[in-house]
Structure 1
Amino acid sequence: MLILLPPSEGKTAARRGKPLDLSALGSPVLTSARERVLDALVTLCEGEPDVAAATLGVPRTQLDLVALNATVRDAPTARADQVYSGVVYEALDFATLSSAAKRRATSRVAVTSSLFGLVRPGDRIPAYRLSGDATLPGLGGVAAHWRDALGPALTEALGKGLLVDLRSQMYAAFWRPPADLAKRVATVRVLHEVDGSRKVVSHFNKATKGRIVRELLEDGRDPRTPAALADVVRDLGWTVEVGAPSPQGTQLDVVVSAL
């Protein structure tokens, strides 16, 4: 099983640690693609801060994020599971997982990254600011760049297991599983139900996904089909509805009634 997460906009910068070493990251097939994004981002952010901020969609009151990107090659690094600090990661809380669950996370969890394409929890990365919908001078759209590169890395990472795709729409655009993998792809949506009406609540959607990933890692089972995954999630106490299989995979709706 490979659980594919989105990154978080919020990141915790390391105070100390070795600088970035692309050759030490997982999925070395992505090294050249990573170099191109890194070069484009640093070049942009070493220039005029206001121009870089506008290009990256960074508020002018947060030009420190531009400076952060400009020094990303030499900045201290930490494990990715310590750097990403958004809602999903707060709920998942890697640091308090059991030893067995942490070992499972090493091989079962991957994060889609605008800067690095794909990172594992133990990969050492710096904090950075680069949205998945950004367009960089000399590179073009970040999503389009990774769309051409991620396929081999993700296919290798997945192996013969089940892909549990928890990415947001923005990061799903980086790579879409081909139809021949559809039987082994489960996408998860969280719906909040009140008085028979259902809707997606962004913050709660992210927090619930983080909790489910945590419980899957602690549980330890390795389902091989979307239906088997649904059974495991139900066993963990969640209400799950399974959609019809499609060329994109099978959607699982986790329905909750309390925020």
Structure 2
Amino acid sequence: MQIMIGSAKEMRLECSYILREKTLPLFHDEAFANAMQMTAYGEDELREMLKCNAGIASENRLRYMRFAEPCNELQAILAYNGVVYKHIHTENFTLDDFKYAGSHLWITSFLYGLLRPLDMIKCYRLEGDIVLSNNGCSMFDYWKPILTDMFIESVKNDDGVLLDLASNEMHKLFDWRKVKREITVVRPEFLVCKCGKLKTVVIYSKMCRGEMTGFVIKNRICDVGALRGFTYEGFNYLPQKSTLTSPVFVLE
């Protein structure tokens, strides 16, 4: 079973522990070319493009201007520092856990396309709907023909099952209809019971996606049915609302 999670806007340059194992992103050249295009924009343009404040725009302009420098890189699974990643708990990983993740976990990225956990990356910020002049299309449409078939093939080369723990937005990086036709996509739901109704609470969903990622990696889960054993802070499997490809976990 392969796992897919999305990248995070929050990133870091350093980690409290050193991981010596590292790999080169599959689409390093494409990412570099796109980053170089981003250097053409000033802070005001970046603020609008990235839908951010002036401070973040300034920070990311500097990041892109320094992108060609041979330093300031970190493994992707450590570099991203959003809620999902904090709840993977890589600080508890063994070297074997990292190696297992390296062959079972995909990270989607608007700049890098698809990443493996040990791929060395730089800090950046990019949105999927940004249109770069040399590309002539959004980052979604730029990556779609590049990623779709290779991603399907990678999942087929495992057992043909994808555990989809990314946000819906990340599906736009692929021809998702083709992905769902050719492989089995398992997409868990994490719901909270409020006033007798089941609702999605974004922060809890992100926490659970990270926790489930760590659960699958550390326990070497390869059977979809074994996902039913996942629990986190009161979230438990709810069989009457679940199907094999849409397991539901509820906090009551």
TM-score, normalised relative to structure 1: 0.81
Q: What is the match of residue 9 of structure 2?
A: 9
Cα deviations across residues 96-150 of structure 1 (Å, max 9, x unaligned)? 1234322211111110001000011100001111123333333231111111211
Residue 135 of structure 1 aligns to a residue in which SS?
coil
Q: Is the 8 A contact 1:7 1:112 kept in 2?
A: yes
Aligned residue type for 1:72: F
Aligned residue type for 1:67: L
Q: Is the 8 A contact 2:130 2:139 kept in 1?
A: yes
Map residues 60-209 of structure 1 onto 2, 5 A cutoff: 60-62=54-56, 63-74=58-69, 75-139=71-135, 140-158=137-155, 159-161=157-159, 162-175=161-174, 176=176, 178=178, 179-182=180-183, 184-209=184-209
What CA distance in whole angstroms lies between the structure 2 residues aligned with 1:153 and 1:232?
27
Aligned residue type for 2:31: R
* CA distance 1:256–1:100, shift in 2 (3 Å): farther
* CA distance 1:236–1:14, shift in 2 (3 Å): closer
Gaps of 5+ in 1: 16-23, 224-228
What CA distance in whole angstroms lies between the structure 2 residues aligned with 1:214 and 1:66?
33
What CA distance in whole angstroms lies between the structure 2 residues aligned with 1:243 and 1:41?
44
Residue 52 of structure 2 aligns to a residue in which SS?
coil
Q: Is the 8 A contact 1:79 1:122 kept in 2?
A: yes
What CA distance in whole angstroms lies between the structure 2 residues aligned with 1:55 and 1:71?
19
What CA distance in whole angstroms lies between the structure 1 residues aligned with 2:196 and 2:96?
39
Task: For residue 31 of structure 1, report the CA deviation from its aligned partner.
Answer: 4.9
Residue 78 of structure 2 aligns to a residue in which SS?
helix
Residue 154 of structure 1 aligns to a residue in which SS?
helix
Q: Is the 8 A contact 1:239 1:256 kept in 2?
A: no
Task: For residue 194 of structure 1, report the CA deviation from its aligned partner.
Answer: 2.3
Q: Is the 8 A contact 2:6 2:107 kept in 1?
A: yes
Q: What is the match of residue 19 of structure 2?
A: none
What CA distance in whole angstroms lies between the structure 2 residues aligned with 1:131 and 1:199?
27
What CA distance in whole angstroms lies between the structure 1 residues aligned with 2:39 and 2:149?
26
Q: Is the 8 A contact 1:5 1:166 kept in 2?
A: yes
Higher deviation after alignment, 138-147 or 205-214: 138-147
Q: Is the 8 A contact 2:89 2:214 kept in 1?
A: yes
Aligned residue type for 1:83: A
Q: Is the 8 A contact 2:230 2:237 kept in 1?
A: no
* CA RMSD in angstroms, aligned pairs only: 2.3
Residue 173 of structure 2 aligns to a residue in which SS?
coil
What CA distance in whole angstroms lies between the structure 2 residues aligned with 1:136 and 1:59?
20
Number of residue pairs matched?
233
Gaps of 5+ in 2: 16-22
Task: For residue 244 of structure 1, report the CA deviation from its aligned partner.
Answer: 5.8
Task: For residue 51 of structure 1, report the CA deviation from its aligned partner.
Answer: 1.7
Aligned residue type for 2:63: L
- Sequence identity (%): 19
Task: For residue 77 of structure 1, report the CA deviation from its aligned partner.
Answer: 0.7
Q: What is the match of residue 237 of structure 2?
A: 239
What CA distance in whole angstroms lies between the structure 2 residues aligned with 1:136 and 1:93?
35
Q: Is the 8 A contact 1:188 1:251 kept in 2?
A: yes
